[in-house]
Structure 1
Amino acid sequence: MEQQDFIGREAVADKRKQYFYPCTQHFYRDAPQLVRGSMQFVYDEKGKSYTDFFAGVSVVACGHCNPAITVRTIEQLQQLQHTTTIYLTQPSVDLAERLEEVMPGGLRRTFFVNSGSEANEGALLLARMYTGRKGFIALESGLHGRTNLTMSVTGLPMWRTDKYLDHDVEFIPRPYHPDLSLEEAASLSLESLERVLEEKGNTIAAMIVEPIQGNGGMIMPTRAYFRDVKALLERYGVLLIADEIQTGFGRTGKMFAMEHFDVVPDIISMAKALGNGIPVAAFATTDEIALALNRPSASTFGGNPVSAATALAVLDYIRDERLPERSVQLGERLKAGLKTLQARYPSLMVDVRGTGLMLGAELTGVDAEGAAALTDQVLETMKDRGYLIGKNGIGRNVLAFQPPMIITEEDIDGMLNVLNEVLAELDH
């Protein structure tokens, strides 16, 4: 596509206003029109390059248009593009077999869908079918999807759009509080969980958690927290669902983030990085629990040949390039650099947290509104200087660093140098 064929950022923004719903927002006051991607870089309609430190919210973990992956997507697209599960095809069963090899514990049965919301919806349904119970427990400030049931277990107010959500959900404090140590916050959360289980345990099907809360601000609990959670849940016959939509497939230094806590969930949901930009998602469980989902069901596009072939290529690339190990090494470098900036600009940056290449840097201001405005200003200036960073957190004041796992040390150092310049200009 020739450069003159691009309609330009203003025209794209105008069309969005005309034809999209008003809920569809975008970052930046002067938002570029992104037209091309190559590994850790994206390019706008004017030819400017940007180093991507957000990866579409952990999606393009192996890099934009990675040739080792896209070649296999194209091959499958040209051979057999679509069937449903009512026909026998090989890519989906090969993918299910490969997932069994990388999932923890006895998780081995997989149901393929298209998105993280669908995966979590299916996981919640499976828990109800297996236990015969209706209720759920969820953590405050978690995000699990935009369907009715996944929105019901979402604890971030800004994402709870529907006024008629399911009331059979008990929220407990997450194991984090800015005024407490992680150990103290974990204790408060566990005490709340135990109270809920004592009162309503026989009505609860499952507890759904993100091992690391992404949109909630990159919140990672103490190592013992989920072990204690699992022990409490087992006492009452309540299942544990691990929402690994953002955390799965090597980003945190483990194939699945729950492995950091030495806990095997009863059900696991996955999406995002599994397809590296091609829609593919799934929820998986044990042989025993899978028996509960036995009434006729299907997913028209779930596990179609193209998405399955792509996911197989992704798993091969993650293995061959040792991306989880790479995330550990590069994440340590990035986190150390962010910690240095925190020490240098304590009036602007108050915390750095997360693990691997899933890190957050919390900014502060005179009030919550000021902190959010500062975050937007940093994102805008970093974009102007060639770096795309995300944002999340309850107050939308946490810089989110979730780059493709093929990012380099030079990319990290370059971004940190520019971020240092930006913070220095803002540090009055």
Structure 2
Amino acid sequence: MRRCGLLTRKVYESLDKVAPRCGCALSTMPPCDFKPDPYTGISFEDAVKVRKENLSPALFTYYKKPVMIHQGHMQWLYDTDGKRYLDLFGGIVTVSVGHCHPKVNAAAEKQMKKLWHTTNIYMHPTIHEYGKKLAEKMPGNLKVIYFTNSGSEANDLALLMARMHTGVFEAVSLRNAYHGASPYLMGLTALNTWRFNCPTGFGIHQSMNPDPFRGPWGGKHCRDSPSQTIRDCDCAEGECKAGDMYVDQLEDVLRFSMPKGKIGAFFAESIQGVGGTVQFPKNFLKPAFEKVRAMGGVCISDEVQTGFGRTGTHYWGFEGHDVIPDIVVMAKGIGNGYPMAAVITTPEIAAGMGKALHFNTFGGNPVASAVGSAVLDVIDEENIQQSAHVVGTYFIEELAKLRDQFEIVGDVRGKGLMIGIEMVNDKASRDPLSADKIANIWEDMKDDGVLMGKGGLYGNVFRVKPPMCVTKEDVDFTISVFRDALQKNSNK
């Protein structure tokens, strides 16, 4: 067993032996035999100056004292001083199988020595080999792939594709959703922190977000998660009335805001990412798709964060909702950090894109295709999806114990290694925990070697979406560090 996270089936089957469910936690960082290279680059002080004077002023930096990352290995990151951190954010849910995974690295290096780039107007082997392999991972009639460079670019294309196919301009997304920040997509993204005061989003409308924790309806039987909300509910076991309420809200938008009897597209994440790992009621998405399709609309699943086995029980997040979309958008984990993305749809919808020329200079280039193909191989060979299920379930259950112990931990939710921890002033009000207290907890965890993300409209949700090679030993260490930070910053 490699201590740094390369999992095999044999290792996966022994995970319970590595960290039994005894409620204990590690007080020291799990060992790793990897040694980072000595750092010899720009100084921290000079980097701060360049960032201030030469980089985008909109580029924000995590932490009061920022971390300057020098090297990565599997679930670990190393700063320029050689300090090691457990990366629980994966470059914003992007590093899927591990930083600098040796098989992915080898595939990129091998291809770069042959051919970095050529236009896809010429044929080259890797895009065809990879395209076939990726298409085989898709259910139903999702067979046609458009390769792009980012999730925003892919969502942009998916919206255009839906409008071309249906001939209807109007589209619907959900409040609290994030689908990108380009001018075209800013209307789909319904988080005010990501929207500029300029004309955008023509023809796009939002429906109420089906949030069982913070929305008007929701209870203890709503989510497909090892952890349910703390809210009381009169639903029977296995029943959720909240989903029907949120579907009614969508139907109301369709009735009043669409051209009569028509809709172009409906966008939904399987689990909202930037919005704070919000999970919908189990019975929301399927009837929502049915209502959209009854009006001739196209259903689009944004799998940018939930794809490639991250939710554990399924390869794609939408499969957990018992639906097959008309268009699927994927990015981030598709390339384990390499900038690449894709839109996959049916032959019928793809035919609508033949009305004009469509081309992407870098999408599906030789190196991207080699990297993407290697990522698919690693997910299968190392049982990454199954590990995400086992380790993620254990992680959520251990975090739920901290929720029960600390008043400021309001909600723990998620599936597999797509996890959110919503912080509150108190459980009764569910008021968001103040920004300074969030920052203090976050900073203390960083100082003790654990890096988490943040999200949600109020910035009060810790986002836990690590490289999927993390182990139960890593989870126990995280729980210990998180508990210490909560004790330092909580009165209860």
User: What's the CA shift for 1:4?
Assistant: 5.6
The amino acid that maps onto 2:371 is: T
Give the structure with the larger helix fraction.
1
The amino acid that maps onto 1:66 is: H
Question: Is 2:142 the counterpart of 1:85?
Answer: no
Pick which of 269-278 and 376-385 moved more.
376-385
Distance 1:114 1:6 in 2: 28
User: What's the CA shift for 1:370?
Assistant: 4.6
Residue 283 of structure 2 corresponds to: 224
Q: Identify which of 392, 399, 402 aligns with 2:465.
A: 402
Question: Is 2:243 the counterpart of 1:186?
Answer: yes
Q: Identify which of 191, 201, 204 aligns with 1:156.
A: 191
Partner of 1:293, secondary structure, is helix
Partner of 2:293, secondary structure, is helix
Question: Is 2:176 the counterpart of 1:141?
Answer: yes
Partner of 1:150, secondary structure, is coil
Residue 302 of structure 1 corresponds to: 363
The amino acid that maps onto 2:383 is: R
1:138–1:169 CA contact under 8 A, matched in 2: yes
Question: Is 2:384 the counterpart of 1:339?
Answer: no
Partner of 1:292, secondary structure, is helix
Partner of 1:291, secondary structure, is helix
Distance 1:218 1:400 in 2: 7
2:147–2:342 CA contact under 8 A, matched in 1: yes
The amino acid that maps onto 2:48 is: A
Partner of 1:149, secondary structure, is coil
In structure 1, runs of 5+ residues without a counterpart are none
Residue 68 of structure 1 corresponds to: 103
2:409–2:424 CA contact under 8 A, matched in 1: yes
What CA deviation, in whole Å up to 9, does each residue of 1:195-222 have, x standing for no partner? 2223325452100111100111111112
Residue 311 of structure 1 corresponds to: 372
What CA deviation, in whole Å up to 9, does each residue of 1:21-58 have, x standing for no partner? 21110100111210000001010000000010110111
Distance 1:180 1:112 in 2: 39
Distance 1:117 1:393 in 2: 19
What CA deviation, in whole Å up to 9, does each residue of 1:125-171 have, x standing for no partner? 00011001111101001000121121111111111125110231111
**TM-score of the two chains, using structure 2 as the length reference:** 0.84
User: What's the CA shift for 1:2?
Assistant: 6.7
Partner of 1:245, secondary structure, is coil
Matches within 5 A, 1:22-421: 22-161=57-196, 163-177=198-212, 178=214, 179-181=216-218, 182=222, 183-199=240-256, 200=258, 202-253=261-312, 254-294=314-354, 295-345=356-406, 347-365=407-425, 370-421=433-484
Seen in structure 2, the aligned counterparts of structure 1 residues 309 and 2 have a Cα distance that, compared at 3 Å, is closer
Partner of 2:184, secondary structure, is helix
The amino acid that maps onto 2:316 is: F
Distance 2:242 2:441 in 1: 30
Distance 1:2 1:91 in 2: 32
User: What's the CA shift for 1:120?
Assistant: 0.2
Pick which of 281-290 and 365-374 moved more.
365-374
What CA deviation, in whole Å up to 9, does each residue of 1:71-121 have, x standing for no partner? 010100110000122110111111211111111221010000000000000
What CA deviation, in whole Å up to 9, does each residue of 1:5-34 have, x standing for no partner? 232333212211111121110100111210
What CA deviation, in whole Å up to 9, does each residue of 1:160-192 have, x standing for no partner? 125110231111001115253144543332112
Partner of 2:463, secondary structure, is strand
2:87–2:451 CA contact under 8 A, matched in 1: yes
The amino acid that maps onto 1:305 is: P
Seen in structure 2, the aligned counterparts of structure 1 residues 225 and 86 have a Cα distance that, compared at 3 Å, is same
Q: Percent identity of the aligned residues?
A: 36
The amino acid that maps onto 1:74 is: E
Partner of 1:317, secondary structure, is helix
Distance 2:288 2:325 in 1: 11
Distance 1:189 1:4 in 2: 52
In structure 2, runs of 5+ residues without a counterpart are 1-35, 223-239
User: What's the CA shift for 1:289?
Assistant: 1.0
Cα RMSD of the aligned pairs, angstroms, is: 1.6
Distance 1:318 1:371 in 2: 39
What CA deviation, in whole Å up to 9, does each residue of 1:341-374 have, x standing for no partner? 11111x2101001110000011113796753322
Runs of 4 or more, structure 1, over 3 Å off, are: 1-4, 182-185, 366-370
Residue 425 of structure 1 corresponds to: 488
Partner of 2:103, secondary structure, is helix
2:433–2:460 CA contact under 8 A, matched in 1: no
2:420–2:461 CA contact under 8 A, matched in 1: yes
Distance 2:271 2:52 in 1: 34
Residue 45 of structure 2 corresponds to: 10
Query: How many residues align structurally?
Result: 427
User: What's the CA shift for 1:319?
Assistant: 0.8
